[in-house]
Amino acid sequence: MKKVKISHELPFCLLNKSLEFNDYDYCLPHLLDQNEEYRIFFNNVKSIGRYIVMDNSLHELGEAYDTERLMHWIKEIEPNEFIVPDVWENYNESVRNAKMWSQIELPKGVTKVAVVQAKTQHYAALCTQAYKDLGYKKIAYSYGASYYNDVCPHPNKDFGKAIGRYMVINDLMKKNILSPKDRVHLLGTASPIEFGLYKNIECIESIDTSNPVMAGIEQKMYFDLGLPTKPEANMNNFQDIEEKDVNLEFIEYNIRKFREINGL
């Protein structure tokens, strides 16, 4: 498996640890407006040449962030990648947005990334092909799509979603909709054992997941296969946690174990 870039989202109090833990920095634009410390961090990492992926904040807000503010921060931060606005599990609206954003000029060097959204495996394939036809050079797949559980009806729904996403991407490779030369980003995970499944799938370029961090915040340490269920904690509720309330030892252990489990 080629070198895959990994990023684990961290609460505000641990932002500087990203330079130790992460291969790149994952930016949520709505937080740039809400938190000065967050804004300063991303201005600083940009100045030292760190690789930055900017999301559109759909997962955190329920809908993509305001277009005007997205454009403002794209121009100021000039991320290496920008995930164009998508609509949760909505194929038509996501493709429509991708078509619109394919025509919007961004600063030189910013790669546009489109997220596959669908309610069935069939429409996920159609969505992938639509993005490629629109000229997108990188495509992302969310961890939480409901149809993954249809693809893999495992009694543990978290395992089912993780294995289901792998099965979807593997099927896209078999059908030549995706090729080894394509660039794929995996958004989050329902189970930290998932990424070891991709060792022979060369198109996987980058992943982001706060799973080992959230497990640590819940005072949980990974077993040899991570955790049986996804942590209930999420970054929406713990961005403002104080450093004294964080068990850094657990987080550091989980991050090391995450890489060990997946052979990364």
The 10s digit of each residue's pLDDT in 128-155 is 999 999 999 999 999 999 999 999 999 9
Q: Report whether 45 contacts 29 (CB < 8 A).
A: no
Token pair recorded at residue 9: 């989202």
What residue ranges do the domains of the chain occupy? 5-262
Q: Compute the average pLDDT of residues 190-198.
A: 93
What are 148-165's pLDDT values in tens digits? 999 999 999 999 999 999
Which range scores top for mean pLDDT: 74-88, 187-201, 230-244? Answer: 74-88
What is the tens place of the pLDDT at every residue in 212-252? 999 999 999 999 888 989 998 777 788 899 999 999 999 99
Closest CA to 104 of 82, 76, 130, 125: 82
Q: How confident is the model at residue 1 (pLDDT cuts 50, 70, 90)?
A: low
pLDDT at 70 over 90: yes
Mean pLDDT of 73-100: 98
pLDDT in tens, 26-59: 999 999 999 999 999 999 999 999 999 999 999 9
pLDDT at 22 over 80: yes
User: Residue 7 — pLDDT band, cuts 50, 70, 90?
Assistant: very high
Strand-strand pairing, 25-27 and 204-208: unpaired
Q: What is the CATH number of domain 5-262?
A: 3.20.20.105
Q: Tell me the C-alpha distance between 32 and 41, whole Å.
A: 10
Task: Provide the token pair at 192.
Answer: 């930290």
CA-to-CA dists, residue 228 to 162, 199, 215, 216, angstroms: 12, 21, 11, 15
The pTM score is 0.95
pLDDT grade for 3, boundaries at 50, 70 and 90: confident
Whether residue 97 contacts residue 113, with contact meaning beta carbons closer than 8 Å, is answered with: no
Tell me which residue has tokens 């940009």: 46
Q: What is the pLDDT of residue 236?
A: 78
Is residue 108 pLDDT above 80, yes or no? yes
